[in-house]
Amino acid sequence: MTKCKIVAGICGFVTKVEVAPSAGGKVSVKIKSGCPDVTKLSEELSEITPYEEIFKKICQTKTYELATKYLPHSACTVPSGILKAIEIEAGLALPKNVTIELEKE
């Protein structure tokens, strides 16, 4: 199982993602979030075929399709975190933290 904790930023919402093997080469995706919009997304993204999801262009993935449908902020980091967890669980990447550092001068 791959676990991912996403602290999205100024909104203050924390999202936890768990991705585990499922039948037929798929993975189950469990998402818990304080964000009501991410919660809506999670209701439709419960199982996915990693190889189909990871090798699509970003805007063609089910994850970003649902993000477009439910998330009002295009800069939300949650969809990227979900895809990273799927990628790691499928063995398509090694687990390595991702960092975005922001600074305004």
Range of the domain at 18: 2-89
Asked if residue 60 is part of any domain, the answer here is: yes
**pLDDT score of 18:** 98
Surface-to-core class of residue 77, CB atoms within 10 Å of its CB (0-12 exposed, 13-18 middle, 19+ buried)? middle
Asked if residue 56 is part of any domain, the answer here is: yes
**CA 62/CA 79 separation, integer angstroms:** 10
Asked if residue 38 is part of any domain, the answer here is: yes
Task: List, for residues 11-63, the tens digit of each pLDDT value.
Answer: 999 999 999 999 999 999 999 999 999 999 999 999 999 999 999 999 999 99
**CA 102/CA 89 separation, integer angstroms:** 28
Asked if residue 14 is part of any domain, the answer here is: yes
**CA 45/CA 14 separation, integer angstroms:** 18
Asked if residue 26 is part of any domain, the answer here is: yes
Asked whether 17 and 85 are in contact (CB, 8 A), the reply is yes
Residue 8's CATH number: 3.90.1010.10
pLDDT at position 85 over 90: yes
Asked if residue 98 is part of any domain, the answer here is: no
- How many structural domains comprise the chain? 1
Q: How confident is the model at residue 8 (pLDDT cuts 50, 70, 90)?
A: confident
Asked if residue 102 is part of any domain, the answer here is: no
Q: How confident is the model at residue 96 (pLDDT cuts 50, 70, 90)?
A: very high
